[in-house]
Structure 1
Amino acid sequence: MNPLLPMIARSLVAVATVFVAAASAQAQGVAGDAQAGAKKADMCIGCHGIPGYQNSFPEIHKVPMISGQSDKYIISALTAYQKGDRKHPTMRGIAGSLTEQDMADLAAFYASEGGKPVADTPKAAGVAAAALIEKGACASCHGANFSKPIDPSYPKLAGQHADYLYFALKAYTVEGNKVVGRNNAIMGGIAKQFSHAEMKAIAKYLSSLDSELAVVPQSRFR
């Protein structure tokens, strides 16, 4: 392994704090209401409220668990879809229909729906996965247990679906595609270090960890 790669990854993490501060400042102006968010979630429950539900574009994978993510992360993700920094036609259309207040309310609702906090120390990774996690400096942003990010606008990864994590990592490496990919200089620099097989190994380990995330089934008849 190139000895400079971990140093580069940590430098990217340091630069990331600048972007995080800006995103957090943008989100501080609107207070979310979880009860209002519950009434606005009809457009979300058709995918995120069905256990095991799979997305078919651009490849088949389980839709991510968002119940239990922080409100700031959910707002950050929706904003990225709205701006086109995360490319996904369905999510772009949904996010584009939301006001800042809508995002804040939905974020407050889903943040309140998660499971119990998990232990600070996750189960040990195998030698290969541990080396990959170290190479990407993943814990530097997402926390030692991958469920307590250094900033709440970063996602919790522990227990997330492995196929979704793999899809997301690949998306950060895509360039010049109008409908697929994620524009994030920090994650792009990190993800491009890995082969697809290595991404799968990282995703498999992270998905095996105890999680605060959940799929909370909700009635369509409300």
Structure 2
Amino acid sequence: MKLTLSPMFAAIGLAVGLATSAQAQVTGNVEAGAGKVAMCIGCHGIMDYKTNFPEVYRVPKIAGQNPKYIETVLGEYKKGTRKHPSMRGIAGSLTEQDIADVAAYYTALGDIKGAPELAATPPAAKADVAALLQKGACVSCHGDNFSKPIDPSYPKIAGQYPDYLFAALKAYKDDTHTTWGRGNPVMAGMAKQFSNAELKAISYYIGSLPGEIRTVPQGRFR
């Protein structure tokens, strides 16, 4: 028997298909992104710049980060699953195209021609830290040298500011606050296995490694 859709359902199906197609066609443009980062460079374009909410730590290095991860994070701030008043306000003002352009810009900003390839195996951690990393299965998601994530929506974390990593891991442990915390169930499950002292040890080891992400000083607004 041949099934025939009514005109109404056919129209709905067409609209959904077009919407999905339009979302799939959002591609980041580096040059366009350069004109959309004025709200970003005041923090992410200053070496060792620190925020003081919800505690004092350096804002993360994002130049050279995976573009899909940057898009994912901005989307989470926009939805509120990542909580930070400033970041939510900024992300909420961006369209999907803006987010893709900003992500493309920051990925390209970290590309240094002639930079040496990172070793697949990072310098060995002390035995106690190595045991923590194995318990958390960190490399299973973040990949070789913690810089080759298995999914493009996961971050490169080698060489990230250790105090930022520590603050981020603690945020996954407690998502009960209205203005800070992170709602990722996978990371929450991982972080809740550890004491804060253990999370700090993990953070400072990973932050000490050579990595592909960096802060690129930007001395003027665009």
Report the alpha carbon displacement of residue 221 of structure 1 after superposing the two structures with TM. 4.6
The answer (yes or no) to whether the contact 1:27–1:72 under 8 Å persists in 2 is: no
**Preserved contact between residue 38 and residue 221 of structure 2 (Cα < 8 Å):** no
SS in 1 for 2:199: helix
Structure 1 residues 1-222: aligned runs within 5 Å: 28-114=24-110, 115=112, 116=115, 117-222=117-222
C-alpha deviation, 1:76, in angstroms: 0.4
Note the alpha carbon deviations across 1:156-187, whole angstroms, 9 max, x for none. 01000000000000000113211110001100
- State TM-score, norm by structure 1: 0.86
- CA deviation string 1:51-108 (max 9, x = no partner): 0100110000000000010110000000010000100000000000000000000000
SS of residue in 2 equivalent to 1:216: coil
Match of 1:15 in 2: none
Partner Cα separation in structure 2 for residue 145 and residue 138 of structure 1: 10
Q: Once the two structures are aligned, what percentage of the paired residues are identical?
A: 59
1:6-54 C-alpha deviation (Å, 9 max, x unpaired): xxxxxxxxxxxxxxxxxxx997431000011011111100000000100
Gaps of 5+ in 2: 1-20
Q: Please identify the structure whose Cα radius of gyration is greater.
A: 2
Question: Where does the alignment leave 5 or more consecutive residues of structure 1 unmatched?
Answer: 1-24
Distance 2:71 2:200 in 1: 27
Residue 83 of structure 2 aligns with an amino acid whose one-letter code is: K
TM-score (norm 2): 0.86
CA gap of 1:72–1:27, structure 2 versus 1, over 3 A, is: farther
Residues in 2 aligned to 1:169 and 1:26: alpha-carbon distance in whole angstroms: 35
Q: Which amino acid aligns with 1:53?
A: Y
Asked whether the equivalents of residues 63 and 106 of structure 2 are also in contact (C-alpha less than 8 Å), the reply is yes
Whether the 8 Å contact between 2:65 and 2:155 is mirrored in structure 1 is yes
In 1, Cα distance between equivalents of 2:106 and 2:125: 29
Work out the number of aligned pairs and report it.
Answer: 198
